[in-house]
Amino acid sequence: MLVPARAHRAMRPQAFYLAPALHVLHHLETLIDGRGPLPIQWCPVAPGIFSRLFGGSGRRGVDGEVVSGQKISRRSTGFNEFIRAISREEGLKILDLGSTSPANITFMTGLGHRFHQEDVLRLSSDKSLIIPNGDNGTTIDVQRFLRENLNFGREEFDAVMFWDLADFLPEPLVKPLIERIHVAMKPGGIMLAFFHTKDAGPEAPFYRYNIAAKDTLELQPIRAFRLQRVFNNRHVENLFRDYSSIKFFLGRDNIREMLVIR
Protein backbone atom coordinates (compact mmCIF):
# COMPACT_ATOMS: atom_id res chain seq x y z
CA MET A 1 0.00 0.00 0.00
CA LEU A 2 1.84 3.08 -1.23
CA VAL A 3 0.57 6.53 -0.29
CA PRO A 4 2.13 9.52 -2.10
CA ALA A 5 3.07 12.65 -0.23
CA ARG A 6 0.69 15.58 -0.42
CA ALA A 7 0.73 19.07 1.08
CA HIS A 8 -1.89 18.60 3.78
CA ARG A 9 -1.38 22.05 5.27
CA ALA A 10 -3.74 23.55 2.71
CA MET A 11 -6.54 21.14 3.65
CA ARG A 12 -8.83 21.23 6.66
CA PRO A 13 -7.11 19.29 9.51
CA GLN A 14 -9.53 16.36 9.44
CA ALA A 15 -9.68 15.92 5.68
CA PHE A 16 -7.69 13.22 3.92
CA TYR A 17 -7.19 11.87 0.43
CA LEU A 18 -8.57 8.67 -1.06
CA ALA A 19 -9.32 7.32 -4.53
CA PRO A 20 -12.30 8.77 -6.44
CA ALA A 21 -15.62 7.56 -5.08
CA LEU A 22 -16.38 5.14 -7.93
CA HIS A 23 -13.12 3.27 -7.29
CA VAL A 24 -12.79 3.41 -3.50
CA LEU A 25 -14.07 -0.08 -2.74
CA HIS A 26 -12.12 -1.66 -5.56
CA HIS A 27 -8.86 -0.10 -4.33
CA LEU A 28 -9.48 -1.10 -0.73
CA GLU A 29 -10.31 -4.69 -1.67
CA THR A 30 -7.11 -4.83 -3.69
CA LEU A 31 -5.01 -3.46 -0.84
CA ILE A 32 -6.59 -5.61 1.86
CA ASP A 33 -6.58 -8.97 0.11
CA GLY A 34 -2.89 -8.68 -0.80
CA ARG A 35 -3.07 -8.48 -4.58
CA GLY A 36 -0.94 -5.35 -4.51
CA PRO A 37 -1.40 -1.59 -4.83
CA LEU A 38 -2.96 0.14 -7.81
CA PRO A 39 -2.29 3.69 -9.02
CA ILE A 40 -4.42 6.03 -6.93
CA GLN A 41 -5.79 9.46 -7.79
CA TRP A 42 -6.26 11.42 -4.59
CA CYS A 43 -9.19 13.61 -3.59
CA PRO A 44 -10.72 14.87 -0.30
CA VAL A 45 -13.11 12.61 1.56
CA ALA A 46 -15.25 13.09 4.63
CA PRO A 47 -13.53 13.21 8.03
CA GLY A 48 -13.64 9.92 9.93
CA ILE A 49 -13.78 7.64 6.88
CA PHE A 50 -10.61 5.79 7.89
CA SER A 51 -12.05 5.05 11.33
CA ARG A 52 -15.08 3.50 9.66
CA LEU A 53 -12.96 1.53 7.21
CA PHE A 54 -10.13 0.36 9.49
CA GLY A 55 -11.84 0.33 12.85
CA GLY A 56 -11.68 2.36 16.02
CA SER A 57 -12.15 1.82 19.75
CA GLY A 58 -14.73 -0.90 20.28
CA ARG A 59 -15.27 -1.46 16.54
CA ARG A 60 -14.49 -4.20 14.11
CA GLY A 61 -11.64 -3.42 11.68
CA VAL A 62 -10.12 -5.07 8.61
CA ASP A 63 -10.07 -8.86 8.62
CA GLY A 64 -12.64 -9.04 11.37
CA GLU A 65 -10.14 -8.02 14.04
CA VAL A 66 -11.81 -6.82 17.22
CA VAL A 67 -10.57 -3.47 18.48
CA SER A 68 -11.27 -3.20 22.18
CA GLY A 69 -9.85 -1.83 25.39
CA GLN A 70 -8.49 1.56 26.29
CA LYS A 71 -5.96 3.35 24.12
CA ILE A 72 -2.70 4.20 25.88
CA SER A 73 -0.71 7.37 25.22
CA ARG A 74 3.04 6.91 25.63
CA ARG A 75 5.98 9.21 25.13
CA SER A 76 8.81 7.58 23.21
CA THR A 77 12.41 8.77 23.16
CA GLY A 78 13.31 6.36 20.37
CA PHE A 79 10.41 7.50 18.22
CA ASN A 80 11.28 11.15 18.83
CA GLU A 81 14.85 10.49 17.62
CA PHE A 82 13.45 8.63 14.61
CA ILE A 83 11.23 11.59 13.66
CA ARG A 84 14.12 14.03 14.07
CA ALA A 85 16.20 11.91 11.69
CA ILE A 86 13.56 11.81 8.95
CA SER A 87 12.51 15.46 9.31
CA ARG A 88 15.73 16.87 7.87
CA GLU A 89 14.43 16.55 4.31
CA GLU A 90 11.20 15.84 2.46
CA GLY A 91 10.42 13.18 -0.11
CA LEU A 92 11.76 10.20 1.83
CA LYS A 93 10.18 6.77 1.38
CA ILE A 94 8.88 5.37 4.68
CA LEU A 95 7.91 1.72 5.29
CA ASP A 96 5.48 0.84 8.10
CA LEU A 97 5.39 -2.89 8.90
CA GLY A 98 2.72 -2.67 11.60
CA SER A 99 -1.07 -2.74 11.51
CA THR A 100 -2.68 -0.24 9.15
CA SER A 101 -2.92 3.13 10.90
CA PRO A 102 -4.66 6.15 9.34
CA ALA A 103 -2.84 8.37 11.85
CA ASN A 104 0.54 7.18 10.57
CA ILE A 105 -0.44 7.79 6.95
CA THR A 106 -1.57 11.31 7.77
CA PHE A 107 1.49 12.14 9.86
CA MET A 108 4.11 10.86 7.41
CA THR A 109 2.56 12.30 4.27
CA GLY A 110 2.12 15.55 6.20
CA LEU A 111 5.91 15.63 6.59
CA GLY A 112 6.19 15.41 2.80
CA HIS A 113 7.22 11.75 2.70
CA ARG A 114 5.95 8.80 0.67
CA PHE A 115 4.37 6.08 2.77
CA HIS A 116 4.27 2.31 2.18
CA GLN A 117 2.29 -0.05 4.43
CA GLU A 118 2.78 -3.81 4.88
CA ASP A 119 0.82 -5.44 7.71
CA VAL A 120 3.36 -8.22 8.21
CA LEU A 121 1.75 -9.93 11.18
CA ARG A 122 -1.60 -10.16 9.42
CA LEU A 123 0.10 -11.53 6.30
CA SER A 124 1.99 -14.12 8.37
CA SER A 125 -1.24 -15.36 9.99
CA ASP A 126 -2.49 -16.79 6.67
CA LYS A 127 -3.36 -20.38 7.59
CA SER A 128 -2.49 -21.62 4.11
CA LEU A 129 1.19 -20.91 4.95
CA ILE A 130 1.23 -23.70 7.56
CA ILE A 131 3.05 -26.82 6.32
CA PRO A 132 4.31 -30.07 7.93
CA ASN A 133 7.81 -29.78 9.38
CA GLY A 134 8.73 -33.44 8.96
CA ASP A 135 8.77 -33.98 12.72
CA ASN A 136 5.07 -34.65 13.27
CA GLY A 137 4.54 -30.93 13.72
CA THR A 138 3.97 -27.87 11.58
CA THR A 139 5.88 -24.77 10.60
CA ILE A 140 5.39 -21.77 8.33
CA ASP A 141 6.36 -21.85 4.68
CA VAL A 142 9.01 -19.11 4.82
CA GLN A 143 9.97 -19.33 1.15
CA ARG A 144 6.39 -18.96 -0.01
CA PHE A 145 5.78 -16.08 2.39
CA LEU A 146 8.81 -14.17 1.07
CA ARG A 147 7.92 -15.03 -2.51
CA GLU A 148 4.41 -13.61 -2.16
CA ASN A 149 5.08 -10.66 0.18
CA LEU A 150 7.57 -7.85 0.83
CA ASN A 151 8.75 -7.78 -2.78
CA PHE A 152 10.68 -4.53 -2.47
CA GLY A 153 13.44 -3.15 -4.64
CA ARG A 154 17.02 -2.99 -3.41
CA GLU A 155 17.78 0.09 -1.32
CA GLU A 156 14.21 1.35 -1.75
CA PHE A 157 13.39 2.77 1.71
CA ASP A 158 14.92 5.59 3.72
CA ALA A 159 13.23 4.63 7.00
CA VAL A 160 11.34 1.66 8.46
CA MET A 161 8.94 1.42 11.40
CA PHE A 162 9.37 -2.17 12.54
CA TRP A 163 7.61 -1.71 15.91
CA ASP A 164 7.60 -4.90 18.08
CA LEU A 165 6.91 -7.41 15.31
CA ALA A 166 9.89 -9.63 16.12
CA ASP A 167 8.32 -10.55 19.47
CA PHE A 168 5.03 -11.67 17.87
CA LEU A 169 6.05 -13.18 14.52
CA PRO A 170 6.43 -16.94 14.02
CA GLU A 171 10.03 -17.80 14.89
CA PRO A 172 11.07 -19.01 11.38
CA LEU A 173 10.11 -15.63 9.86
CA VAL A 174 12.01 -13.28 12.17
CA LYS A 175 15.54 -13.49 10.79
CA PRO A 176 14.51 -13.79 7.08
CA LEU A 177 12.28 -10.72 7.49
CA ILE A 178 15.08 -8.63 9.02
CA GLU A 179 17.42 -9.75 6.21
CA ARG A 180 14.81 -8.82 3.58
CA ILE A 181 14.39 -5.36 5.14
CA HIS A 182 18.17 -4.89 5.21
CA VAL A 183 18.28 -5.36 1.44
CA ALA A 184 15.33 -2.98 0.97
CA MET A 185 16.81 -0.15 3.06
CA LYS A 186 19.13 2.49 1.67
CA PRO A 187 22.64 2.74 3.19
CA GLY A 188 22.34 5.11 6.12
CA GLY A 189 18.61 4.42 6.39
CA ILE A 190 17.06 4.24 9.85
CA MET A 191 14.78 1.68 11.50
CA LEU A 192 12.70 2.00 14.66
CA ALA A 193 12.11 -1.25 16.55
CA PHE A 194 10.73 -2.22 19.95
CA PHE A 195 11.50 -5.34 22.00
CA HIS A 196 9.85 -6.55 25.18
CA THR A 197 11.96 -7.01 28.29
CA LYS A 198 12.11 -10.19 30.36
CA ASP A 199 9.50 -8.69 32.69
CA ALA A 200 6.84 -8.79 29.98
CA GLY A 201 4.46 -11.64 30.67
CA PRO A 202 2.97 -14.05 28.10
CA GLU A 203 -0.27 -12.04 28.15
CA ALA A 204 1.45 -8.85 26.96
CA PRO A 205 -1.03 -7.29 24.51
CA PHE A 206 -0.41 -6.62 20.84
CA TYR A 207 -0.93 -2.99 19.86
CA ARG A 208 -1.46 -0.92 16.78
CA TYR A 209 1.01 1.96 17.10
CA ASN A 210 -0.64 5.24 16.07
CA ILE A 211 1.46 8.39 15.80
CA ALA A 212 -0.04 11.10 18.01
CA ALA A 213 2.84 13.61 17.94
CA LYS A 214 6.55 13.70 17.16
CA ASP A 215 7.36 12.24 20.59
CA THR A 216 4.11 10.46 21.45
CA LEU A 217 2.50 7.20 20.34
CA GLU A 218 -1.05 6.04 20.95
CA LEU A 219 -1.22 2.31 21.59
CA GLN A 220 -4.46 0.66 20.50
CA PRO A 221 -5.14 -2.98 21.50
CA ILE A 222 -6.16 -5.06 18.50
CA ARG A 223 -6.22 -8.74 17.55
CA ALA A 224 -5.08 -11.22 20.18
CA PHE A 225 -1.67 -12.09 18.77
CA ARG A 226 0.37 -13.78 21.49
CA LEU A 227 3.86 -12.78 22.56
CA GLN A 228 6.07 -15.53 21.12
CA ARG A 229 9.39 -14.79 22.81
CA VAL A 230 11.56 -12.20 24.55
CA PHE A 231 14.97 -11.42 23.03
CA ASN A 232 17.86 -10.39 25.24
CA ASN A 233 20.26 -7.69 24.03
CA ARG A 234 22.77 -10.21 22.68
CA HIS A 235 20.08 -11.91 20.58
CA VAL A 236 18.87 -8.56 19.27
CA GLU A 237 22.39 -7.53 18.29
CA ASN A 238 22.80 -10.86 16.49
CA LEU A 239 19.57 -10.32 14.53
CA PHE A 240 20.88 -6.97 13.28
CA ARG A 241 24.54 -7.89 12.85
CA ASP A 242 24.48 -6.90 9.15
CA TYR A 243 23.43 -3.35 10.04
CA SER A 244 26.01 -0.68 10.78
CA SER A 245 24.89 0.48 14.24
CA ILE A 246 22.33 -0.04 17.00
CA LYS A 247 21.23 2.38 19.71
CA PHE A 248 19.07 1.28 22.65
CA PHE A 249 16.65 3.40 24.68
CA LEU A 250 15.01 2.28 27.90
CA GLY A 251 11.31 2.60 27.24
CA ARG A 252 8.24 2.20 29.42
CA ASP A 253 5.86 -0.69 29.98
CA ASN A 254 8.56 -3.39 29.74
CA ILE A 255 9.66 -2.22 26.29
CA ARG A 256 13.17 -1.53 24.96
CA GLU A 257 13.28 0.96 22.10
CA MET A 258 15.94 0.73 19.45
CA LEU A 259 17.20 2.67 16.45
CA VAL A 260 19.11 0.72 13.82
CA ILE A 261 21.16 2.28 11.03
CA ARG A 262 21.60 0.36 7.77
Print the SS3 string covering the chain: CEECCCCHHHCCCCCEEECCHHHHHHHHHHHHCCCCCCCCCCEEECCCHHHHHHCCCCCECHHHCECCCCCEEEECHHHHHHHHHHCCCCCCEEEECCCCCHHHHHHHHHCCCEEEECCHHHHHCCHHHEEECCCCCEEECHHHHHHHCCCCCCCCEEEEEEECHHHHCCHHHHHHHHHHHHHHEEEEEEEEEEEECCCCCCCCCCEEEEEEECCEEEEEECCCCCCCCCCCHHHHHHHCCCCCEEEEEECCCCEEEEEEEC
Q: Is residue 69 part of a domain?
A: yes
Look at residue 34 and tell me whether its pLDDT is greater than 90. Answer: no
In the predicted model, is pLDDT for residue 52 greater than 60? no
**Over residues 143-157, mean pLDDT:** 96
Least reliable range by pLDDT among 15-19, 59-63, 130-134: 15-19
Residue 11 lies inside a defined structural domain of this protein = no
Q: Is residue 34 part of a domain?
A: no
* Residue 64: pLDDT over 50: no
- How would residue 170 be classed by pLDDT, with cut points 50, 70 and 90? very high
Asked whether residue 36 is domain-assigned, the answer is no
Residue 111 within any structural domain of the chain: yes
User: What does the pLDDT look like over 180-232, one tens digit per residue?
Assistant: 999 999 999 999 999 998 877 778 889 999 999 999 999 999 877 899 999 99
72-99 residue pLDDT tens: 999 999 999 999 999 999 999 999 999 9
- Supply the pLDDT for residue 155: 97
Range of the domain at 148: 57-261
Is 47 within a domain?
no
- The answer to whether residue 185 is domain-embedded is yes
Give the pLDDT of residue 224.
77
CATH code, 204: 3.40.50.150
In a domain, 242, yes or no: yes
Q: Which pLDDT does position 59 carry in this prediction?
A: 39
Structural domains counted in the chain: 1
Using the predicted structure, report yes or no on whether residue 35 has a pLDDT greater than 50: no
